[in-house]
Amino acid sequence: MEQRIRALREQMEQRLGQVDSKEKLAAFWQEYLGKKGSIAELMKGLGAVSKEDRPAMGKVINEFKAQAEARYKALNEKMEQLELAARNRLEAVDITLPAQKRPLGGLHPLTIVKDEMINVFAGMGFEIFEGPEVEDDDHNFTRLNVPKDHPSRDMQDTFYLGGDLLLRTQTSGGQIRVMDLEKPPIKVLVPGRVFRSDSDATHSPMFHQMEGLVVDKHITLCDLQGLLDKFVKQIFDADVKTRLRPSYFPFTEPSVEVDVSCFECGGKGCSLCKHTGWIEVLGGGVVHPHVLENCGIDPKEYSGIAFGIGIERITMLKYGINNIGLLFENDLRFLKQFKE
Ligand code: DAH
172 in contact with ligand 1, CB cutoff 6 A: yes
Q: Are residues 118 and 249 in the same domain?
A: yes
Residue 260 structural domain: 109-338
Answer whether residue 315 shows pLDDT above 90.
yes
Q: Are residues 239 and 265 in the same domain?
A: yes
State which of 143, 154, 172 you would mutate to test the pocket of ligand 1, scoring each by most atoms of that ligand within 8 A of its C-beta: 172
Q: Judge whether 282 and 307 are in contact, CB under 8 Å.
A: yes
Q: Write the single-letter amino acid at 3.
A: Q
Q: Write the single-letter amino acid at 200.
A: D
Tell me, in angstroms, the distance from the centre of ligand 1 to residue 170's CA. 7
State which of 196, 307, 311, 314 you would mutate to test the pocket of ligand 1, scoring each by most atoms of that ligand within 8 A of its C-beta: 307
Task: State how far the Cα of 173 lies from the Cα of 133, in Å rounded to an integer.
Answer: 10
Give me the torsion for CA of 162, 164, 169, 172, rounded to 10°. Answer: -170
285 in contact with ligand 1, CB cutoff 6 A: yes
The string over 153-184, giving b where at least 16 C-beta atoms fall within 10 Å of a residue's C-beta and e elsewhere, is beebebeeeeeeebbbbbbbbbbbbbbeeeeb
Q: Are residues 169 and 207 in the same domain?
A: yes
pLDDT level of residue 149 (50, 70, 90 thresholds): confident
pLDDT level of residue 192 (50, 70, 90 thresholds): very high
Residue 102 lies inside a defined structural domain of this protein: no
| Domain stop point among 59, 91, 123 | 91
308 in contact with ligand 1, CB cutoff 6 A: yes
249 in contact with ligand 1, CB cutoff 6 A: yes
Q: Are residues 242 and 276 in the same domain?
A: yes
Residue nearest to atom 13 of ligand 1 (CA): 284
Q: Are residues 320 and 184 in the same domain?
A: yes
Tell me, in angstroms, the distance from the centre of ligand 1 to residue 283's CA. 5
Q: Are residues 114 and 209 in the same domain?
A: yes
Task: State how far the Cα of 124 lies from the Cα of 112, in Å rounded to an integer.
Answer: 19
Residue 141 lies inside a defined structural domain of this protein: yes
Tell me, in angstroms, the distance from the centre of ligand 1 to residue 313's CA. 14
Q: Are residues 17 and 141 in the same domain?
A: no
pLDDT of residue 1: 80
**Which CATH number belongs to the domain containing residue 194 in this structure?**
3.30.930.10
pLDDT level of residue 145 (50, 70, 90 thresholds): very high
pLDDT of residue 225: 96
pLDDT of residue 275: 94
Cα within 13 Å of Cα(73), Cβ side: 6
Query: What is the domain count for the chain?
Result: 2
Which of 11-25, 58-72, 193-207, 287-301 reaches the highest mean pLDDT?
287-301
Q: Are residues 121 and 65 in the same domain?
A: no
Q: Are residues 178 and 33 in the same domain?
A: no
Name the phi and psi angles at 85, rounded to 5.
Answer: -60, -40
pLDDT in tens, 219-272: 999 999 999 999 999 999 989 999 999 999 999 999 999 999 998 888 899 988
Task: State how far the Cα of 50 lies from the Cα of 54, in Å rounded to an integer.
Answer: 6
Residue 103 lies inside a defined structural domain of this protein: no
Taking all residues of the chain, what is their mean pLDDT, rounded to a whole number?
A: 93
For 320, residues 6+ apart whose C-beta sits below 8 A from its C-beta are 272
pTM: 0.72
Q: Are residues 177 and 268 in the same domain?
A: yes
Answer whether residue 151 shows pLDDT above 80.
no
pLDDT level of residue 168 (50, 70, 90 thresholds): very high
Q: Are residues 80 and 177 in the same domain?
A: no
Mean pLDDT (whole number) for 73-82: 91
Q: Write the single-letter amino acid at 220.
A: T
Residue 188 lies inside a defined structural domain of this protein: yes
Q: Are residues 80 and 141 in the same domain?
A: no
Residue 267 lies inside a defined structural domain of this protein: yes
Answer whether residue 66 shows pLDDT above 80.
yes
